[in-house]
A = this chain, B = another copy of it.
Amino acid sequence: GSDAIIGGFGGTFSLAAANPIFHPLSPTLIGAIDGVGTKLKIAHAMGIHNTVGIDLVAMNVNDLVVQGAEPLFFLDCYSCRKLEVETTAAFVSGVADGCIQAGCALIGGETAEMPGLFVDGTYDAVGAAVGAMNTAGESGRTILPDTGSMKPGDVLLAMASSGPHSNGYSLIRKIVDRSGLSYEDDSPFSMPLYSPSSSSSQPAPSRLSLGVALLTPTRIYVKPLLKALEIRVPGVDVASSPSFAIKGLAHITGGGLVENVPRMLPPTLTAHIKVSSWTLAPVFRWLKRTGDVSAREMSRVFNCGVGMVIVVERGCEAAVRELLEKEGETVYEIGELKANNEGDEERCTLEDLEQWD
């Protein structure tokens, strides 16, 4: 009852298909696994370990919700050279915080000491999230992206990111090196100061240093999106298709808009995005200027302010936007889907990109 490995999405497993006698109406399970990546190096440098725990959850649960799945539970595995209780505790309190934000249960974890594998004082953390969605019976719906329902004119909405999230950190660390600043220096750009939940074992930082700014945790889009996924196209019979306003979601991770958006599209459509429809946030402007990074490279390495892109049936964009804004999200209308001209290599065009230079 499982699909082959699909690049960029969580893998799916249909309980109903695996055992139609016992489980005709059981949900399809969706699994995701991922680590935090080299953002961990900044956590090590700063001695701040709770925020990367949130990143770990975020990277996985955002990959589930783009398929329309509700995250059920999370597992984490923390590997290091030598276990330091305070570091581990801070990290796990962040994982717990992320699970609360995502509405999923932290059902297991493992810590492993592996001398000889890790550079001194570093650790690695990998997490796995499992979600479910009803694909059979009356409440059943299609696993997203629903490419069959997408058409020219569909609107592209975007949800603002909280910063670079967990991608592009190898380049970020090079740019910081080049800047001559240390992670302890005051941040040269503004950013919301992250406040850990009261259950965190590590206190909130007292000031916005460069390191603290760069550790701003990845935004978790699960709860607002699960609500928005219920919005139906008005006037359409429930039995016909498409009946839901949202047809596809793309979690913008490594590779940026140009690599992540096409993954949710059918081969017949191209995403036309106007990057002037949102303002490049100060952190990205600082990275661009300090690292002398071209606008094109910025768009291929970073999310550039957009953490999630949504394909919405035209006419429904106001309802989706209103709901997401009510949930506290910042939403931009960034473009639309157009018919793919034969021979088009780019499946996601970025207009006004030169305005970033």
Chain A residues with CB under 8 Å of chain B are 1-3, 5-6, 10-13, 15, 18, 22-23, 25-27, 29, 31-35, 37-38, 40-41, 72-73, 75-77, 79, 105-110, 112, 114-119, 122, 124, 126-128, 130, 132, 134, 137, 139, 170, 173
Contact = CB atoms under 8 A, between A and B. Distances in A.
A154 to B, nearest CB: 28
A94 to B, nearest CB: 16
B31 A110 contact: no
A108 B64 CA distance: 12
A128 B75 contact: yes
Contact of A73 (B13, B35, B134, B139): B13
A300 to B, nearest CB: 16
Contact of A15 (B22, B126, B132): B132
A241 to B, nearest CB: 21
A124 B126 CA distance: 10
A40 B23 CA distance: 39
25 contacts: A5-B107, A5-B109, A11-B73, A11-B105, A11-B107, A11-B108, A13-B72, A13-B105, A22-B137, A25-B26, A26-B27, A29-B29, A29-B72, A31-B75, A33-B128, A34-B77, A35-B79, A37-B112, A38-B115, A38-B117, A41-B116, A79-B126, A114-B124, A116-B122, A118-B118
Contact of A77 (B6, B40, B126): B126
A38 B82 CA distance: 13
A118 B37 CA distance: 12
A197 to B, nearest CB: 18
Contact of A115 (B108, B124, B137, B170): B170
B31 A108 contact: yes
Contact of A124 (B33, B124, B137): B124
Contact of A134 (B12, B22, B107, B114): B22
A137 to B, nearest CB: 8
Given A26-B26, A119-B118, A33 B76 contact: yes
Given A117-B40, A119-B118, A112 B35 contact: yes
